[in-house]
Structure 1
Amino acid sequence: MDKVNDFKLAVTAVVALLTSLWGWFGWLVVLFVGCMAVDYLTGTAAAMHRGEWSSKSARDGIFHKIGSVIVVMVAGAADLLIGAMLGHLPGVVLPFEYTTLLCPLVVVWYTLTELGSIVENAVSLGAPVPQWLKKMLSAAKDAVDKLGEEND
Protein backbone atom coordinates (compact mmCIF):
# COMPACT_ATOMS: atom_id res chain seq x y z
CA MET A 1 0.00 0.00 0.00
CA ASP A 2 2.92 2.34 0.67
CA LYS A 3 4.02 2.08 -2.98
CA VAL A 4 0.56 3.12 -4.15
CA ASN A 5 0.58 6.12 -1.83
CA ASP A 6 4.12 7.00 -2.92
CA PHE A 7 2.99 6.87 -6.56
CA LYS A 8 -0.04 9.08 -5.83
CA LEU A 9 2.21 11.53 -3.99
CA ALA A 10 4.69 11.64 -6.88
CA VAL A 11 1.94 12.22 -9.48
CA THR A 12 0.36 14.94 -7.35
CA ALA A 13 3.73 16.63 -6.87
CA VAL A 14 4.47 16.61 -10.61
CA VAL A 15 1.03 18.01 -11.48
CA ALA A 16 1.36 20.69 -8.80
CA LEU A 17 4.84 21.64 -10.03
CA LEU A 18 3.81 21.87 -13.68
CA THR A 19 0.71 23.91 -12.99
CA SER A 20 2.45 26.23 -10.54
CA LEU A 21 5.35 26.87 -12.93
CA TRP A 22 3.37 27.10 -16.16
CA GLY A 23 -0.17 28.00 -15.08
CA TRP A 24 -2.72 27.24 -17.81
CA PHE A 25 -0.03 25.70 -20.00
CA GLY A 26 0.87 23.29 -17.19
CA TRP A 27 -2.70 22.02 -17.28
CA LEU A 28 -2.38 21.50 -21.04
CA VAL A 29 0.75 19.42 -20.47
CA VAL A 30 -0.98 17.40 -17.73
CA LEU A 31 -3.91 16.77 -20.09
CA PHE A 32 -1.51 15.74 -22.89
CA VAL A 33 0.35 13.26 -20.66
CA GLY A 34 -2.93 11.88 -19.34
CA CYS A 35 -4.27 11.44 -22.87
CA MET A 36 -1.06 9.68 -23.92
CA ALA A 37 -1.48 7.22 -21.03
CA VAL A 38 -5.17 6.60 -21.78
CA ASP A 39 -4.41 6.17 -25.49
CA TYR A 40 -1.69 3.63 -24.73
CA LEU A 41 -3.95 1.70 -22.37
CA THR A 42 -6.97 1.72 -24.71
CA GLY A 43 -4.77 0.86 -27.68
CA THR A 44 -3.35 -2.09 -25.75
CA ALA A 45 -6.86 -3.20 -24.75
CA ALA A 46 -8.10 -2.87 -28.35
CA ALA A 47 -5.17 -4.91 -29.70
CA MET A 48 -5.77 -7.59 -27.06
CA HIS A 49 -9.50 -7.59 -27.90
CA ARG A 50 -8.66 -8.20 -31.59
CA GLY A 51 -6.04 -10.81 -30.67
CA GLU A 52 -3.34 -8.67 -32.32
CA TRP A 53 -1.29 -7.58 -29.30
CA SER A 54 2.48 -7.94 -29.68
CA SER A 55 5.41 -6.64 -27.70
CA LYS A 56 6.81 -5.07 -30.90
CA SER A 57 3.60 -3.06 -31.42
CA ALA A 58 3.60 -2.06 -27.75
CA ARG A 59 7.23 -0.91 -28.04
CA ASP A 60 6.45 0.98 -31.24
CA GLY A 61 3.61 2.75 -29.39
CA ILE A 62 5.97 3.78 -26.60
CA PHE A 63 8.57 5.02 -29.10
CA HIS A 64 5.82 7.00 -30.86
CA LYS A 65 4.90 8.65 -27.53
CA ILE A 66 8.58 9.41 -26.80
CA GLY A 67 8.84 11.04 -30.24
CA SER A 68 5.82 13.21 -29.46
CA VAL A 69 7.38 14.34 -26.18
CA ILE A 70 10.62 15.19 -28.01
CA VAL A 71 8.72 17.33 -30.54
CA VAL A 72 6.97 19.16 -27.67
CA MET A 73 10.38 19.80 -26.08
CA VAL A 74 11.72 21.12 -29.41
CA ALA A 75 8.73 23.47 -29.69
CA GLY A 76 9.35 24.66 -26.11
CA ALA A 77 13.03 25.26 -26.87
CA ALA A 78 12.05 27.18 -30.01
CA ASP A 79 9.69 29.35 -27.95
CA LEU A 80 12.50 30.09 -25.48
CA LEU A 81 14.88 30.91 -28.32
CA ILE A 82 12.39 33.20 -30.08
CA GLY A 83 11.56 34.94 -26.79
CA ALA A 84 15.25 35.47 -25.99
CA MET A 85 15.95 36.72 -29.50
CA LEU A 86 13.06 39.18 -29.42
CA GLY A 87 14.07 40.41 -25.97
CA HIS A 88 17.72 40.98 -26.73
CA LEU A 89 18.27 41.74 -30.40
CA PRO A 90 18.10 45.44 -31.22
CA GLY A 91 15.68 46.36 -33.96
CA VAL A 92 13.63 43.16 -33.68
CA VAL A 93 10.26 44.27 -32.33
CA LEU A 94 6.81 42.75 -32.49
CA PRO A 95 3.59 44.71 -31.98
CA PHE A 96 2.77 42.39 -29.05
CA GLU A 97 4.61 40.71 -26.18
CA TYR A 98 5.83 37.26 -27.18
CA THR A 99 5.73 34.77 -24.34
CA THR A 100 4.96 31.45 -26.00
CA LEU A 101 3.22 30.27 -29.14
CA LEU A 102 4.71 27.14 -30.64
CA CYS A 103 4.71 24.84 -27.64
CA PRO A 104 1.03 25.34 -26.69
CA LEU A 105 0.00 24.83 -30.32
CA VAL A 106 2.04 21.63 -30.55
CA VAL A 107 0.70 20.32 -27.23
CA VAL A 108 -2.90 21.06 -28.25
CA TRP A 109 -2.33 19.41 -31.66
CA TYR A 110 -0.88 16.28 -30.06
CA THR A 111 -3.62 16.19 -27.42
CA LEU A 112 -6.29 16.34 -30.13
CA THR A 113 -4.46 13.54 -31.95
CA GLU A 114 -4.44 11.45 -28.77
CA LEU A 115 -8.15 12.10 -28.19
CA GLY A 116 -8.92 10.99 -31.75
CA SER A 117 -6.89 7.84 -31.22
CA ILE A 118 -8.71 7.13 -27.95
CA VAL A 119 -12.02 7.39 -29.80
CA GLU A 120 -10.74 4.99 -32.49
CA ASN A 121 -9.65 2.57 -29.76
CA ALA A 122 -13.08 2.82 -28.12
CA VAL A 123 -14.74 1.98 -31.44
CA SER A 124 -12.39 -1.00 -31.80
CA LEU A 125 -13.46 -2.13 -28.33
CA GLY A 126 -17.11 -2.01 -29.43
CA ALA A 127 -18.21 1.29 -27.92
CA PRO A 128 -20.64 3.37 -29.94
CA VAL A 129 -19.15 6.78 -30.66
CA PRO A 130 -21.14 9.68 -32.11
CA GLN A 131 -19.96 10.73 -35.55
CA TRP A 132 -20.14 14.38 -34.51
CA LEU A 133 -17.49 13.76 -31.84
CA LYS A 134 -15.10 12.37 -34.42
CA LYS A 135 -15.85 15.33 -36.72
CA MET A 136 -15.39 17.87 -33.91
CA LEU A 137 -11.99 16.43 -32.92
CA SER A 138 -10.88 16.40 -36.56
CA ALA A 139 -12.12 19.98 -37.11
CA ALA A 140 -10.35 21.20 -33.95
CA LYS A 141 -7.09 19.56 -35.06
CA ASP A 142 -7.49 21.15 -38.53
CA ALA A 143 -8.06 24.55 -36.89
CA VAL A 144 -4.83 24.20 -34.90
CA ASP A 145 -3.02 23.18 -38.11
CA LYS A 146 -4.42 26.26 -39.87
CA LEU A 147 -3.41 28.54 -36.98
CA GLY A 148 0.12 27.12 -37.01
CA GLU A 149 0.40 27.53 -40.78
CA GLU A 150 -0.75 31.17 -40.57
CA ASN A 151 2.22 31.87 -38.29
CA ASP A 152 4.78 30.42 -40.76
Structure 2
Amino acid sequence: MENVNAFKAAVAALGAALTALWGWFGWVVLAWIGLMVIDYITGSAAALRAGKWSSKTARDGIWHKLGSVVAVIVSAILDVVIGHLLANMPAVELPFAYSVLLCPLVVMWYILTEAGSIIENAGELGAPVPDWLAKTVESLSQKANQAGQGK
Protein backbone atom coordinates (compact mmCIF):
# COMPACT_ATOMS: atom_id res chain seq x y z
CA MET A 1 0.00 0.00 0.00
CA GLU A 2 2.90 2.32 0.74
CA ASN A 3 4.14 1.93 -2.87
CA VAL A 4 0.71 2.84 -4.21
CA ASN A 5 0.63 6.04 -2.16
CA ALA A 6 4.16 6.91 -3.26
CA PHE A 7 3.16 6.34 -6.89
CA LYS A 8 0.06 8.55 -6.48
CA ALA A 9 2.17 11.27 -4.87
CA ALA A 10 4.73 11.07 -7.70
CA VAL A 11 2.00 11.34 -10.36
CA ALA A 12 0.42 14.30 -8.55
CA ALA A 13 3.81 16.01 -8.23
CA LEU A 14 4.55 15.42 -11.91
CA GLY A 15 1.16 16.85 -12.89
CA ALA A 16 1.71 19.90 -10.70
CA ALA A 17 5.21 20.46 -12.12
CA LEU A 18 3.97 20.17 -15.70
CA THR A 19 1.08 22.54 -15.01
CA ALA A 20 3.48 25.07 -13.51
CA LEU A 21 5.74 24.71 -16.53
CA TRP A 22 3.12 24.61 -19.28
CA GLY A 23 0.02 26.23 -17.82
CA TRP A 24 -3.38 25.36 -19.23
CA PHE A 25 -2.30 25.52 -22.86
CA GLY A 26 0.37 22.87 -22.44
CA TRP A 27 -2.30 20.39 -21.42
CA VAL A 28 -4.36 21.34 -24.47
CA VAL A 29 -1.35 20.69 -26.72
CA LEU A 30 -0.74 17.38 -24.94
CA ALA A 31 -4.39 16.42 -25.52
CA TRP A 32 -4.01 17.29 -29.22
CA ILE A 33 -0.89 15.12 -29.52
CA GLY A 34 -2.68 12.27 -27.76
CA LEU A 35 -5.64 12.60 -30.13
CA MET A 36 -3.30 12.57 -33.14
CA VAL A 37 -1.82 9.28 -31.93
CA ILE A 38 -5.26 7.79 -31.26
CA ASP A 39 -6.48 8.94 -34.69
CA TYR A 40 -3.49 7.38 -36.43
CA ILE A 41 -3.94 4.09 -34.57
CA THR A 42 -7.71 3.90 -35.07
CA GLY A 43 -7.42 4.96 -38.71
CA SER A 44 -4.84 2.26 -39.34
CA ALA A 45 -7.00 -0.30 -37.53
CA ALA A 46 -10.08 0.69 -39.56
CA ALA A 47 -8.10 0.40 -42.79
CA LEU A 48 -6.77 -3.01 -41.75
CA ARG A 49 -10.28 -4.17 -40.88
CA ALA A 50 -11.57 -3.02 -44.28
CA GLY A 51 -8.60 -4.63 -46.06
CA LYS A 52 -7.49 -1.23 -47.38
CA TRP A 53 -4.33 -0.62 -45.35
CA SER A 54 -1.27 0.46 -47.34
CA SER A 55 2.08 1.80 -46.28
CA LYS A 56 1.69 4.74 -48.70
CA THR A 57 -1.60 5.77 -47.10
CA ALA A 58 -0.06 5.35 -43.64
CA ARG A 59 2.88 7.57 -44.64
CA ASP A 60 0.46 10.13 -46.09
CA GLY A 61 -1.28 10.18 -42.71
CA ILE A 62 2.02 10.90 -40.97
CA TRP A 63 2.80 13.70 -43.44
CA HIS A 64 -0.68 15.10 -42.79
CA LYS A 65 0.00 15.11 -39.05
CA LEU A 66 3.37 16.78 -39.61
CA GLY A 67 1.65 19.49 -41.65
CA SER A 68 -0.72 20.21 -38.78
CA VAL A 69 2.25 20.48 -36.39
CA VAL A 70 3.82 23.03 -38.76
CA ALA A 71 0.58 25.03 -38.86
CA VAL A 72 0.46 25.13 -35.05
CA ILE A 73 4.10 26.25 -34.87
CA VAL A 74 3.40 29.02 -37.40
CA SER A 75 0.37 30.18 -35.39
CA ALA A 76 2.48 30.23 -32.20
CA ILE A 77 5.18 32.29 -33.93
CA LEU A 78 2.53 34.69 -35.23
CA ASP A 79 1.15 35.09 -31.69
CA VAL A 80 4.62 36.06 -30.47
CA VAL A 81 5.17 38.46 -33.39
CA ILE A 82 1.75 40.10 -32.92
CA GLY A 83 2.41 40.44 -29.18
CA HIS A 84 5.75 42.16 -29.83
CA LEU A 85 4.21 44.39 -32.49
CA LEU A 86 1.47 45.53 -30.13
CA ALA A 87 3.94 46.07 -27.27
CA ASN A 88 6.38 48.11 -29.33
CA MET A 89 4.25 50.02 -31.83
CA PRO A 90 2.17 52.62 -29.97
CA ALA A 91 0.17 53.43 -33.10
CA VAL A 92 -1.14 49.87 -33.31
CA GLU A 93 -3.79 49.09 -30.69
CA LEU A 94 -6.44 46.47 -30.15
CA PRO A 95 -9.58 46.98 -28.07
CA PHE A 96 -8.48 44.12 -25.80
CA ALA A 97 -5.31 42.87 -24.10
CA TYR A 98 -3.46 40.48 -26.42
CA SER A 99 -1.30 37.65 -25.13
CA VAL A 100 -2.21 34.76 -27.43
CA LEU A 101 -5.09 34.11 -29.75
CA LEU A 102 -4.14 32.29 -32.92
CA CYS A 103 -2.33 29.27 -31.50
CA PRO A 104 -5.07 28.24 -29.04
CA LEU A 105 -7.71 28.58 -31.76
CA VAL A 106 -5.65 26.55 -34.23
CA VAL A 107 -4.93 23.82 -31.69
CA MET A 108 -8.60 23.65 -30.66
CA TRP A 109 -9.61 23.39 -34.34
CA TYR A 110 -7.16 20.52 -34.81
CA ILE A 111 -8.42 18.83 -31.63
CA LEU A 112 -11.96 18.94 -32.97
CA THR A 113 -10.78 17.65 -36.37
CA GLU A 114 -8.95 14.74 -34.73
CA ALA A 115 -11.96 13.99 -32.51
CA GLY A 116 -14.24 13.88 -35.56
CA SER A 117 -11.86 11.55 -37.35
CA ILE A 118 -11.61 9.26 -34.31
CA ILE A 119 -15.41 9.11 -34.11
CA GLU A 120 -15.54 8.12 -37.80
CA ASN A 121 -12.84 5.51 -37.24
CA ALA A 122 -14.73 4.08 -34.27
CA GLY A 123 -17.81 3.69 -36.46
CA GLU A 124 -15.75 1.99 -39.17
CA LEU A 125 -14.39 -0.39 -36.54
CA GLY A 126 -17.96 -1.40 -35.73
CA ALA A 127 -18.53 0.56 -32.53
CA PRO A 128 -21.94 2.14 -32.11
CA VAL A 129 -21.38 5.91 -32.07
CA PRO A 130 -24.17 8.22 -30.91
CA ASP A 131 -25.26 10.64 -33.64
CA TRP A 132 -25.28 13.50 -31.16
CA LEU A 133 -21.57 13.02 -30.45
CA ALA A 134 -20.56 13.53 -34.08
CA LYS A 135 -23.01 16.45 -34.37
CA THR A 136 -21.60 18.08 -31.23
CA VAL A 137 -18.02 17.83 -32.51
CA GLU A 138 -19.10 19.24 -35.90
CA SER A 139 -20.96 22.12 -34.21
CA LEU A 140 -17.95 22.95 -32.03
CA SER A 141 -15.70 22.82 -35.10
CA GLN A 142 -17.97 25.32 -36.87
CA LYS A 143 -17.86 27.58 -33.80
CA ALA A 144 -14.05 27.43 -33.83
CA ASN A 145 -14.08 28.38 -37.51
CA GLN A 146 -16.39 31.29 -36.79
CA ALA A 147 -14.19 32.48 -33.91
CA GLY A 148 -11.14 32.38 -36.20
CA GLN A 149 -13.00 34.39 -38.83
CA GLY A 150 -14.14 36.97 -36.29
CA LYS A 151 -17.86 36.14 -36.63
Q: TM > 0.5 between the two?
A: yes
Shift of 1:92: 1.6
Displacement after TM superposition at 1:114 (Å) = 0.1
Mapped partners of 2:88, 2:22: distance in 1: 23
Pair 1:47-2:60 in alignment: no
TM-score, scaled to structure 2: 0.86
Name the residue aligned to 2:105: 105
Q: In the alignment, what sits opposite 1:68?
A: 68
Which AA in structure 1 matches 2:21? L
Shift of 1:22: 3.2
For 1:101, the aligned partner's letter is L
Query: Is 1:29 paired with 2:29?
Result: yes
Secondary structure (helix, strand or coil) at the match of 1:127 reads coil
Q: Which residue does 2:85 correspond to in 1? A: 85
Paired residues, number: 139
**Counterpart AA for 1:40:** Y
Deviations 1:40-83 (A, max 9, x none): 00001001101111100100000000000000000000100000
Shift of 1:122: 0.3
More deviation in 21-30 or 69-78? 21-30
- Asked whether the equivalents of residues 20 and 26 of structure 1 are also in contact (C-alpha less than 8 Å), the reply is no
Aligned amino acid, residue 63 of structure 1: W
Q: CA deviation at 1:94?
A: 2.1
| Aligned match of 2:5 | none
**Structure 2: 5+ residue stretches without partners:** 1-13
Letter in structure 2 aligned against 1:127: A
* Superposed structure 1 runs of 4+ greater than 6 Å apart: none
Q: State the alpha-carbon separation in 2 of the partners of residues 126 and 85 from structure 1.
A: 51
Identity of aligned residues (%): 55
1:121 aligns with 2:121: yes
Quick one: distance in 2 between partners of 1:112 and 1:43? 16
State the match for 1:138 in structure 2. 138
TM-score, normalized by length of structure 1?
Answer: 0.86
Do the aligned partners of 1:112 and 1:141 also contact (CA within 8 Å) in 2? Answer: yes
How much does 1:91 deviate? 1.7
Unmatched tracts of structure 1, length 5 or more: 1-12
Shift in Å at residue 97 of structure 1?
Answer: 1.5
Structure possessing the higher radius of gyration over alpha carbons: 2
Report SS of the residue matched to 1:128. Answer: coil
Amino acid at match of 1:74: V
